[in-house]
Every structure is written in C-alpha cells, then in structure tokens.
Amino acid sequence: MLIVKGLRFARGRVRFQAEKGFLERFINLCTAEGLPLWDGRRRGGVYTACTTPAAYRRMHRCARKARVRLRIVEKSGLPFWRVRYRGRVGLAVGAAGFLVVVMILNQFIWEIRISGADQVPEARILQELEALGVREGARRGSLDAEKIQEQMLLRMEELSWIGVNLRGSTAQVVVGERVMPPEAIDLGGPANVVADRAGQIRRMVVYDGQRVVQDGETVLPGQVVVSGLMEMTSGGTLLTRARAEVYASCQETLEVRVPLREKTLEAAGVQRGWSIGVLGKEIHLWPPSPPQQPYKLEKAGRRVNLLGFAAPLTIYRSNYILQQEGVLERTMEEAMAQAQQDLEILEEQLVSQLGKGEILSRQLEGREEEGEYVLTATYLVVRDIARQEPIYTEEEEKKT
C-alpha cells in the first residue's frame, strides 16, 4: 500500500470534471486510448475521476470527439509540488528525508489491534504475543505469522482459532474463543456429604448415597447428612461418592459501619497537561511533571499516523483533577440513610450467594459506637450447606 501511494505521488494526480456532451462515449474513448481512470463517480450530467498529468493532456482529444468539457478540480503529487517549490532545496531534502523515515518506520510494528476477544482478557493475549516476539518496535520481517498462530493456539487453550495479519506498521490480531466444556463431575474416591454449617433441614435432593437425616432435623457442622456407605439388599455394603443438595435454614449476619465524621478528598480545580509517548516512554511537555498535590488523572491518547501508517508516537492529553483534604460530617439521620444504602448492596450479594436458597426473615439493630453508626442485620436464610468429605479406608488411613 505504501509503495502504491508513493508511485501515485511520484506520477502526480489530476482530479477533473467532465460535463455536457456524451459522457459514455468519452469514457469509452479514454479506455480505448489506454488512459488510466480511477475513483470515477457520476452525478447527474457530471463525471468526476482521477488520472495522471500526462493522461490528462492526451484526454483533450477524446473530449473534443465526445463534445465534453473538461475542468481540473484538484492537482497533487510530485510534478506539481516540484514546480511550486522550485529552488527550495532544503524543503526538498526535508521531504525526501521524511519519506525515508516513514519507509524505515514502516518496517517495524508500532500498533497491535485485537478483535474478537470477549471472555479472554486482551492483556493476556498481548502478554502471550509479546512472549512470541510480537511487540511494539518488533521488526516485521522477523515475524512469521503462521508460526505465531500455531504457537498461540498451543499456549492459549481458550482460543479456537487466531489470525495474525502483519500489514504495514500494524499487527491485526483476530481471535475466536473456544466454548469451554462444563466442569466434569468429581468422580474421585468415596465420600460422605456433611453439613458445612449448623442449621435445620428444609429439603434435600440426593443424587448418590444414602440419606441419614430427615426434613426438620437440626444438624451440626461436620455432621453426616448423606452417607457414602450404602447397604445393599443382598446384605452387603457399597462405598460410593455421595452427592446431594441439602437446603437448611441457618443464620447470617451483615454489619455496616458509617462514620459520623470522616476525612475526604474534594475537587480543587483542574490542571490540563500534554505529553508524548515514544517507544513506550512518556515525556511530559506541559506541565514538566505531574502536580505535587493529590490528584485524579483522566488521560486520552491519540496515536500519530504518517501517510496512513501507525508511528511510534502517541500524543496524550491529561486532566489532573486536583484534590484537597476536607471533612465530611453526617447527622445521625444521614448516617442511618447511608448505612441502609450500603446494607442493600451487601444484601444483593447475599442473595446471589444463596443461589436456589432464599431469605426468610430479617431483623435490624442500629447503634452509635465510637463515632460511628453501626447497623447490624440478622437474617434467617435457606441455603445449600452440603459439603463432600472423603471416606478413607483402613489402608488409606495407614498411608496418611
């Protein structure tokens, strides 16, 4: 792409308009004469296209035959640039040097774009790519895209496929994520299902094993509720890995503390700054260094492109939101309202932890303690208290 742009710049470009006459005949005559046309568009009775300066001079004969009127809209490229800046040697040398620098920079990777990653963090993909040599500043010719793709699939089992396209100074990485199979059921040695905490049995769903407690019974932590030792109808016993869901009513406690007086950081103005990033290093332009007082930083960066290609230069605009210490004093009513809001957040987390369980009741108690308002919530909940505990045979106990 860079070579094509360079050749077009060297030959020059003329954008022209053709109107009136027979436009179709004009286009056919140009094609028959071998005159290059590109970016052609027709709107109503006007045809706009691009060609080279030499072709435009030859085009007038075709225009006369088709009774078409030609008009130049825009001229660009080396031939016109050379005429405009004739005698300015320094400018020509600078432009040539600029093109050389762009062509050299185009041999290295300065930007890595990742698409298709929804579940897998982009930071993890970048880390693995860097381990394989794909990083900012890497020479493009030293990278083998096919080999990188193979190694990435071996290093990251979360990916089902990956495409690495090295184009100019940009590495475009497109990934497809693997649909991971569900976790396999632990089919280890024999085990009992015991109570993970104290509670009163409400309901049970036994998948494997022999139930040893009934609904309404109270169990203690570590007590066996489903045995992995099953009695056979033939009179023998069978060791199995018991599996069950055991829902019991038990007590949960949440506590929220809200200080009546606390130190805070308040906004004290905004200081704007500019900096540039070069080869992974940031150089502060203004201010020369970040503010000394506490601040919150908001930063936005824009990578510089040279002739459409990413360059190793990023311009950052920063907003330093200056902060100063303050004191927030709450009344008891405000502290109670804040505590209630904080408790609602914790309660939502508790509900998500309960899963198929539920909250049966809630009892609140508020008090002032050492300059804080303390809100304590005691819940009666139904939750799964099942926990597997291995059954060791005599030989296994001797080994341990």
Q: How far apart are CA 194 and CA 224, in angstroms?
A: 4
| Contact between 378 and 251 (Cβ < 8 Å) | yes
Question: Which domains, ranges and CATH numbers included, belong to the chain?
Answer: 2-83 (3.30.70.340), 111-177 (3.10.20.310), 191-242 (no CATH), 262-327 (no CATH)
The pLDDT assigned to 9 comes to 74
Helix ranges, the chain (H): 2-11, 23-32, 53-66, 78-84, 89-105, 122-131, 145-155, 332-354, 394-399
- Quick one: which H or E segment has residue 164? strand 159-167
Q: Are strands 111-115 and 309-329 parallel, antiparallel or unpaired?
A: unpaired
Q: How far apart are CA 13 and CA 81, in angstroms?
A: 11
Q: Is 254 helix (H, G, I), strand (E, B) or coil?
A: strand
Residue 196 C-alpha from the chain's centroid? 38
Peptide bond into 287 cis (omega under 30): yes
The pLDDT assigned to 237 comes to 82
The pTM of this model reads 0.52
Q: What is the pLDDT along the chain (400 residues), one digit of tens a residue?
A: 555 666 777 788 899 999 988 999 999 999 999 999 988 998 888 999 999 999 999 999 999 999 999 999 998 887 777 666 666 666 667 767 777 777 777 788 888 999 988 889 999 999 999 999 998 888 888 999 999 999 999 999 899 999 999 887 889 999 999 887 766 555 678 999 999 999 999 999 999 999 999 999 999 999 999 999 888 777 778 889 999 999 999 999 999 999 999 988 888 888 888 888 877 688 888 888 888 888 888 888 888 876 666 777 888 899 998 888 888 899 999 999 999 999 999 999 999 999 999 999 999 999 999 999 999 999 999 999 999 999 886 655 555 5
The pLDDT assigned to 215 comes to 94
The pLDDT assigned to 397 comes to 52
Q: Is 188 helix (H, G, I), strand (E, B) or coil?
A: coil
Distances (CA, A) of 55 to 26, 40, 128, 180: 14, 15, 51, 60
- Quick one: which H or E segment has residue 362? strand 358-369
Q: How far apart are CA 66 and CA 28, in angstroms?
A: 10
Q: How far apart are CA 382 and CA 400, in angstroms?
A: 37
CA angle 291, 297, 301 (to 5 degrees): 110
Q: How far apart are CA 28 and CA 33, in angstroms?
A: 9
CB neighbour class for 23 (10 Å; exposed up to 12, middle 13-18, buried from 19): middle
| Contact between 372 and 259 (Cβ < 8 Å) | yes
